Structures are given as structure tokens and as C-alpha cells.
Amino acid sequence: MRNIDRLRVMSLEELAPYLVHRTVIDKSQFWRSPNGFIFRNEEDAIENCIHWLDGEYHKEN
């Protein structure tokens, strides 16, 4: 099985942690969801990412 095939069969809950990014600034951690929102804890960022993944696509210019 190819890696892309593994991604295609993942649930939103399984996929979201791979899309959330952690940044450390002056010893403070911030978590960024793919839609650009920033959170102070990972769980909130993952929950937001799941909501974003489940939403409709809106093309931006």
C-alpha cells in the first residue's frame, strides 16, 4: 500500500494531528490549524482542524 493510499483511508480524527503544526516562541507553545487559526493547546487545534476538514471547500482568490 502506498502512503497516499493510507492517507485516503484515514478518518478525520486520524488525519487531523498530522496537519496541525506546533510553534515555540519564547518558551510558549502555539498550535496552528491548517485554516490559519492559532491555539494555545493541541487539542483545540486538532478539534478545529477536524471541523475544517469536514467543511465545504471555498475557493479563495
Query: Domain residues of the chain, as ranges?
Result: 3-54
Stated pTM of the model: 0.85
For residue 46, pLDDT beyond 80: yes
Average pLDDT over residues 27-49: 96
pLDDT at 61: 65
pLDDT in tens, 6-36: 999 999 999 999 999 999 989 999 999 999 9
Model pLDDT, residue 57: 87
33, exposed or middle or buried, with CB in 10 Å at 0-12, 13-18, 19+?
buried
Q: What is the average pLDDT across 31-46?
A: 97
Which residues neighbour 22 within 8 Å (Cβ) at sequence distance 6 or greater? 29, 30, 31, 32, 42
Q: Is the pLDDT of residue 55 over 90?
A: yes
Whether the CB-CB separation of 56 and 31 falls below 8 Å is answered with: no
